[in-house]
Amino acid sequence: MIGLIIIIGLGILAMISEIFNFKKLLHPIVLVGVIAAGTFNLIEWNQPVKIQYFDNMLAFDRPALAFSTVILFVALLWFTLSRTYFKNGGHLVDQYTLVLFMMVGAIILTAFTNMTTLFLGIEIMSIPLYVLAASKKGDPASNEAGFKYLLMGAFASSFLLFGIALVYGATASFDLATIQNFIATNQANLPNFFYVGVVFILVAMLFKISVAPFHFWAPDVYEGSPTVITALMSTIVKIAGIAAFLDLFIGSFQDVSFLWIKIISVIAAISLVVANVTAGVQTSVKRMLAFSSVSHATFMLLAILANLAYNVSVETLLYYSLSYAMASLIAFGILDLVKQDEGYSFKSFNGLYVRNPFLAISMTIAMLSLAGIPLASGFFAKYFVLSSLFDSGYIYLNVLAIIAAVIGACFYFKVIIAMYNGDSENRKKIQVETAQGVVFVICTGVIIVLGAFPGLIVELF
């Protein structure tokens, strides 16, 4: 909770930094603040009781603290990584403020215990993102991305609101625990519109984590937004979204799982095929990564589908989201560095190994992790999902997931092949700033350490 308050404070501080003229100090202040917030999370970790805040609107239990710590960790790396972008592009203050408030929304999403806070969290997270997506004012693609995101996001939010209203109508409560109790005691005579409400909420959440067939906004928005912002969308937003999803469906709507499990299993099957096949035919790496993020969201969805004990699901998803976020940060960070005149095509990676071996090796590890090759953390992430699917008996979905993973490996390896093989004539060497280099080293380090010792996370609870 203290972590959340610190981030809110940082956001306000960032807003006034221009007025009180300490703009130059903002970057270090934010870094220190994020580290402090993370530290307080770790302190709260050891507190025995689950503490509820705001009349039981928020509760920071261990899963919430774990997810929000991951979010803060990713944010720390992101702020370090995107420093160069803001140095050159200006508007540091506005955008830092927006990112900080977005983080507030994301942290709320890990800790909500009430439908109101769910909605607030989603809106607080989304609205800054609409602006950030459109933050390259001169670029039509960026404007298009922001506008599309806003339209689609608003659409999804309306679904969410309607769903919440219907559920409220049936259960007469916004409180998740009360709803859960109500479902458990009145299982036989729930009104039909309650089920409609659950499905609406499901649709809205699928929109937010962008799973096919609700993914159409994702590629355009990812491609049009500035790459640093895309990195944010595919990491923090995904983590928060999936954490909220988990709380809602493995938590509150557990007892009506017969309803959403069928829907999710169909959607997951569709999404695995659509995301991976479409990603395979992309010529732009950025679009490919967008579809790959759809595919990874689907894998996380599969872990929810397995519908195991809450703790197991939390561990699986925590591991998956951290592993994916690390690889994603590297991928988008390096994509931004290698971008050439021809845009984000695979060609811009040509001969990267000659131009800058360090970047090439980091990128290779990230791609291996995304493809799910052992000893990169991505392998265990996929393994936990497949294994829990087995526990629940979805053998056919498992086979489908494996075929999807193989198709996935093809397009990640296209990047690797380009880096080591493509001709690199007339290309300058790429300079990497120390801070960025440190971020890449930390990310690859986390990927390898988690890959070698997955017990660090999966034995957490």
Partner 1 sequence: MLTLLLLGIPFLAALILFAPKDRGWKNLALIFSLVEFVVSLVAFVIYKQNPASELLHFKAVWIKSLGINFDVSINALSLLMILLTTFLIPIIILSTYKKGVKTSNKFLGLILAFQMAVIGVFMANDGFLFYIFWEITLIPVYLICLLWGGENRSKVTLKFFIYTLIGSLFMLVGLIMLYHHTNVNGLKSWDIQALYAAGRSLDFAQQGLIFWFIFIAFAVKIPIFPFHTWQPDTYVDAPIQGTMILSGIMLKMATFGAIKWLLPMVPLGVQEWGTTVMVLAIIGIVYTSIIALGQNEYKRFNAYISLAHVAVIAAAIFSGTHQGIQGSIMLMLAHGINTVGLFFISEILFRKTGTTMMDEMGGIRQQNGNFSTLFLIIVLGVVALPLTSGFIGEFLSLIGIYQFNPYFAAVAGLSIIFGAVYMLRIFQKIMLGESKNENFVFGKLEPSENIVLIIISIAIIGLGVYPAILNDIAETAAYEALLNIK
Residues that bind partner 1 (CB under 8 A): 357, 368, 373-375, 379, 383, 386-387, 390-391, 395, 398-399, 402-403, 405-406, 409-410, 413, 416-417, 420-421, 453-455, 458-459
For residue 364, the minimal CB distance to partner 1 (Å) is 9
- Report the nearest approach of partner 1 to the CB of residue 459 (Å): 5
Closer to partner 1 at the Cβ: 184 or 406?
406
CA triple 367-373-379, angle to 5 deg: 100
Q: Nearer to partner 1 by C-beta: 23 or 62?
A: 62
Minimum distance from residue 277 beta carbon to partner 1 (Å): 15
Quick one: tokens of 161? 């609101």
Q: How far apart are CA 11 and CA 37, in angstroms?
A: 13
Nearer to partner 1 (CB atom), residue 54 or residue 453: 453
Nearest Cα residue to 163 out of 111, 198, 136? 198
C-alpha to C-alpha distance for 407 and 384, rounded to whole angstroms: 19
What is the nearest approach in angstroms of partner 1 to the Cβ of residue 280?
12
Taking alpha carbons only, the member of 123, 115, 272 closest to residue 201 is: 115
| Min CB(66)–partner 1 separation in Å | 16
Q: Name which of 232 and 405 has its Cβ closer to partner 1.
A: 405
343 token code pair: 């845009």
Q: How near is the Cβ of 255 to partner 1 at its closest, in Å?
A: 26
Q: Which is nearer to partner 1, 31 or 458 (CB)?
A: 458
Residues 6+ apart with CB under 8 A from 313: 246, 250, 303, 304, 306, 307, 388
Instruction: Provide DSSP, 223-272.
Output: HHS-HHHHHHIIIIIHHHHHHHHHIIIIIGGGGGHHHHHHHHHHHHHHHH
Q: How far is the CB of 454 from partner 1 (least distance, A)?
A: 6
51, β-bridge pairs: 60
Nearer CB in complex with partner 1: 213/393: 393
Contact 447, 365 (CB under 8 A): yes
Provide the token pair at 15.
């807003």
CB 129 within 8 A of CB 102: yes
Residue 238 phi, psi dihedral angles, 5° rounding? -65, -45
At 382, list the tokens. 């996929």
| Closer Cβ to partner 1, 196 or 375, answer by number | 375
Shortest reach from residue 380's CB to partner 1, in Å: 9
Indicate the residue among 141 and 375 with the shorter CB distance to partner 1. 375
Q: With contact defined as beta carbons under 8 Å apart, do 316 and 385 qualify? A: yes
